[in-house]
Amino acid sequence: MFSSVVTKENVESNSLPTRPKLLIVDDDSSLREFLEIFLAKEGYKVDSADCGGKAIEKVRNGSYDLVITDVRMPGMDGVELLRRLKALDAGLPVVLITAFASLDAAVDAMKEGAWDYLTKPFKIEELRKVIENALSSRQDPSLKTVDTKDRIYRLDNMVASSPAMLKIFQLVQRVASSPTSVLITGESGTGKELVARALHNLSDRNDKPFVVVNCGGIPENLLESELFGHKKGAFTGADRDKLGLFAMANGGSIFLDEIGELPITLQVKLLRVVQQRSFTPVGGTSPVAVDCRIIAATNRNLEKEVMDGNFREDLFYRLNVIQVRIPPLRERKEDIPLLVQYFLDKYAELHGKKVQGISSFALQALMEYPFPGNVRELENIIERSIALSTSSLVLPESLYIAKCKHKDEFGRRNSLETAPERHELPKDGMDLDAYLADIEKSLLLQALERTDGRKKEAADLLGVNFRSFRYRLSKYEIG
């Protein structure tokens, strides 16, 4: 089960002046003794209890930096122990040890405040990493990679100022090093891929590939070959072996964007990969083992898709072990000024413009706008405004050119409207291609919003075929 051997004799010389104090709770005396010996060798002060009741008594009478507890124990189980420990000390990190059969209980406990969990049999290096991260959180509750100065929170390539996003940043850091599957949900344009990349970049796999798969952007007849590869001669035109995207992601992470678009037939094959960590290439006869962290994302309500028979229930639960829901921009408007400045700096440098800020009237218009396209739409607006700006400040006129027929209309609309009957040509001229592209994008977003993200229905609503509709979505990077 473990790769290293420790004995009581080689522990005594490792005493440290100040050592974090850990409490091990497990009714299995052999595992409890192993953890006591190993963790003492690692330099920790270690105490133990064989049941939840004794653990609570020890925490009441002493001070601990971390509790490691089994989930399944007679009497009080690990989840109930977690609840009681949190009532005594809300900031005390608790790590759960669980067999696969009780994994659901461990995941539920994560939602109630458990720091992390280890699945039996676990590796020594996994144990070390989880303990180090948990103790770091005890020393710095705000998490060191999240900068909370002046309520500006940064994680990897993301920036925010809202409490909602801070919680997401903290959750991402907590689960980044876990091999557990993560499902990222949220409307189009909220930044699901940025969260997926952060999960990879903050993990132990960050030196390995991060492979992105747009499940809705690959034709259905090619998708299986793209995901799992194929053998020479598997079908007409297969003149050589091809490596699939899962094989390319081996050792790293694979991001399955728009997972709700995956056909039912391929959902069965993906379930095998999630369960058994292996797949069979098209035309192959032998399974190929793969070690990659699976991160999926969707703007659909997968639970509803399961009820409607469009998505497999077993696959949904396998992917939805940890869910990260990204709120739409209209629910975290305190992020808008920070994001505006971030995009101003980015695109002023890119376009070589000396734009230093945004006028208060323009910012107020943005604050009142509902942003159906979320952060991606805000970025598009700011880039367009900088390209059109002739002053050191972004003015409402620039926003008007980008989005509206009247300068004062931008902040009042509750949703994007269809193209107006009359378009006025600004005095200084305009970028016609950009203006028409913006109208086209707004109609695409409206169609998706009106059909709850169902692309075939949205295509019918706009009177275009599905292939053309998908091309237009890809053109404007609409998820």
| CA geometry: angle 410, 415, 420, nearest 5 deg | 65
Residue pair 267/215 in contact (Cβ under 8 Å)? The answer is no
Between CA 182 and CA 255 the distance in angstroms is 10
| CA geometry: angle 431, 434, 439, nearest 5 deg | 125
Does CATH number 3.40.640.10 belong to domain 8-139?
no
Q: Give me the CATH code for the 330-475 domain, please.
A: 1.10.8.60
Between CA 169 and CA 408 the distance in angstroms is 36
DSSP string, 17-30: SS--EEEEE-S-HH
Fold of 153-327: Rossmann fold (3.40.50)
| CA geometry: angle 74, 76, 78, nearest 5 deg | 100
User: Structure tokens of 348?
Assistant: 């002023």
**Residue 334: CB partners within 8 Å, gap ≥ 6?**
161, 162
- CA-based nearest residue to 180, from 245, 253, 125, 250: 253
Lookup result for tokens 């962290």 = 293
Of 254 and 409, more confident: 254
Q: How far is CA 248 from CA 212, 227, 242, 243, in A?
A: 10, 9, 11, 7
Percent of all residues in the chain with a pLDDT value above 90, rounded to a whole number: 34
At residue 58 the predicted structure's pLDDT band, cuts being 50, 70 and 90, is very high
For residue 259, pLDDT over 90 is answered with yes
Out of 138-152, 170-184, 336-350, least confident range = 138-152
For residue 165, pLDDT over 70 is answered with yes
The domain limits of the chain are: 8-139, 153-327, 330-475
Between CA 11 and CA 7 the distance in angstroms is 7
pLDDT at 439: 79
Residue pair 410/396 in contact (Cβ under 8 Å)? The answer is yes
pLDDT at 102: 53
Helix H or strand E segment including 324: strand 322-325
Q: What is the pTM of this model?
A: 0.58
Residue pair 280/286 in contact (Cβ under 8 Å)? The answer is yes
Judge if 153-327 and 330-475 fold alike in CATH terms.
no
217, amino acid identity: G
At residue 103 the predicted structure's pLDDT band, cuts being 50, 70 and 90, is low
pLDDT at 424: 62
Question: Mind listing the pLDDT tens digit for each residue in 64-98?
Answer: 999 999 888 888 988 889 889 988 887 788 888 87
Between CA 373 and CA 187 the distance in angstroms is 8
At residue 59 the predicted structure's pLDDT band, cuts being 50, 70 and 90, is very high
Query: What is the SS3 assignment for 95?
Result: strand
Kindly state the DSSP code that residue 118 receives in the 8-state scheme. Answer: E
Question: Mind listing the pLDDT tens digit for each residue in 295-307?
Answer: 999 999 999 999 9
For residue 108, pLDDT over 80 is answered with no
pLDDT at 146: 42
